[in-house]
Structure 1
């Protein structure tokens, strides 16, 4: 089963890219079974589901106007679809589900949790504190989920580069959002301390990136960050066969600033 994550930075703007990419993979006999989208930026009613359903995918969405938004596209039916943290954690999530950043479901026995982690804006800001609180809630969510669902895949735009090698130039990263010590520690508590494995690092130790700023010819100069991830639970990681980053769509006309990351699972 091939599972991909992709921050499309507006599903309506990037619909042609999405269709092209899914068709290319199908023609290469390597179809994407589940595609997890972030930053769809559209309400559920306006999501362009017909074009995607025409490719043979079922569509599950949690969106909002102009901001955020997540979706699951799957060739097989998705079981037990939920949105937000509240279905598992209840009222303890407070305001954290107001922004549409979480959707999950079970495909072929794998619990897929698709996330759009807050950016944080700048260190010390209210949005930065919100991000840290959000990540602490993610830890609570996964800690409660693991006894129920041993095979968990957590993926999405994490807006965090876990290590210095995940940034083209880590100089001064301590003062930069997406690489500060507090963010990395929050990721450590939420993901790695619970035994989850970075699927990309399971197969590669190279410095490769998934996001490039639109400014300063960053993509052409490969001035990127690796902030889009697949994390596998301890019982699922042995079933991973490979994890790859597809940079091709970043070179298309009017691209998303992120590219797809694909993990292949033997399930």
Structure 2
């Protein structure tokens, strides 16, 4: 079973690229972030023609997440991250596919720091940590997948010294991510490639992709029940070099499940 996560950076403008990627790689499940479209503009017909059904949570101009499944409709379980009833940003969605609770998330960027956007990021991470603990306690096979906007270590960024004050790499951000991981989650990509230089985001400026000057901020985290099923993990690196690409690289795992 192949499960991927992909920040599409606008599903309307990047739809041809998304459909091409789906055709080429045929993931069984795809978690999408940054749809940048209200719910009514989600491309249901086009995705169905490609063999995918979906659940989604849209938002005009910003954010937005979706879970796609090949040949079946994901069973929606939750819309929005618990813990703040005033939060109107579309950043979290859960669905069950083939017995796995798939949690698609788009964690806030948090820049500039310090400031209210960074405060929101840290508060969102606290809510995620609390909710994730409950997911683990359920004993279900769970996958947390998406754009975490977190650079876990200096090994996950080109020239880390340039990022020390950025919301993605600040000490507080990494400490919160470490607390999440400390619950028992497995970082699939790093587990399969402990020493490799792997990036999942490349800025559009300064030929970042051509220079391989990127960041690893898109993650697939497996619960202890699911982790033993992991067989492979990686990125579809070449997608970033295509015409009108997202600034993110699709990231995937293969698991022996179901």
Instruction: Work out whether the TM-score is over 0.5.
Output: yes
Aligned to 1:51: 46
Pick aligned residue for 2:63 from 61, 64, 68? 68
TM-score by length of 1: 0.93
- Is the partner of 2:224 in helix, strand or coil? coil
Aligned Cα RMSD in Å?
1.1
Q: Is the 8 A contact 2:33 2:105 kept in 1?
A: yes
For the residues of structure 1 that align with 2:97 and 2:139, how far apart are their CA atoms?
12
Report if the CA contact (8 A) 1:115-1:156 is conserved: yes
Contact 1:111 1:149 in 2 (8 A): no
Is 2:132 the partner of 1:136? no
Give the secondary-structure state (helix, strand or coil) at the position aligned to 2:191: helix
Which residue number corresponds to residue 146 of structure 1? Answer: 136
In 1, distance between residues paired with 2:106 and 2:86? 16
Q: By how many angstroms is 1:173 displaced?
A: 2.9
Aligned to 1:218: 208
Secondary structure of residue in 2 paired with 1:194:
coil
Cα drift, residue 149 of structure 1:
4.2
For residues 154-180 of structure 1, the C-alpha deviation after alignment (integer angstroms, 9 at most, x for no partner) is 010011110101001111432122111
Tell me the equivalent position of 1:2.
2
Deviates more, 1:148-157 or 1:65-74: 148-157
Q: Secondary structure at the match of 2:208?
A: coil
Say if 1:172 and 1:252 are closer, same or farther in 2 by CA, change over 3 A: closer
Query: How many pairs are equivalent?
Result: 255
TM-superposed CA distance for 1:80, in Å, is 3.8
Q: Are 1:180 and 2:170 counterparts?
A: yes
The CA distance in 2 between the partners of 1:99 and 1:43, in whole Å, is: 12
Residue of structure 1 in register with 2:188 after alignment: 199
Give, in whole Å, the separation in 1 of the partners of 2:162 and 2:111: 16
Q: Is the 8 A contact 1:8 1:39 kept in 2?
A: yes
Deviation at 1:79, TM superposition (A): 2.1
| 2:257 pairs with 1:258 | no
CA distance in 2, matches of 1:208, 1:85: 28
The 2-side partners of 1:218 and 1:146 are apart by 37
Contact persistence 1:38–1:68 (CA under 8 A): yes
Q: Distance in 2 between matches of 1:149 and 1:82?
A: 17
SS of 1:171 mapped into structure 2: helix
Structure 2 residue ranges without an equivalent (≥5): none
Distance 1:173 1:100, change over 3 A: same
**Is 2:34 the partner of 1:39?**
yes
Instruction: Output the CA distance in 1 between the equivalents of 2:249 and 2:86.
Output: 30
- Cα distance between partner residues in 1 of 2:44 and 2:77: 17
Quote how far apart the aligned CAs of 1:114 are.
0.3
For residues 62 and 137 of structure 1, the distance between their equivalents in structure 2, rounded to whole angstroms, comes to 19
The 1:172/1:220 distance shift into structure 2, 3 A limit, reads closer
Q: Give per-residue Cα distances to partners, 1:21-62, cap 9 Å, x unaligned.
A: 11112xxxxx31001000000011111111101111111110
- The Cα of 1:214 is off from its aligned counterpart by 0.6
Ranges in structure 1 where 5+ consecutive residues have no aligned partner:
26-30, 87-91
Residue in structure 2 matched with residue 89 of structure 1 by the alignment: none
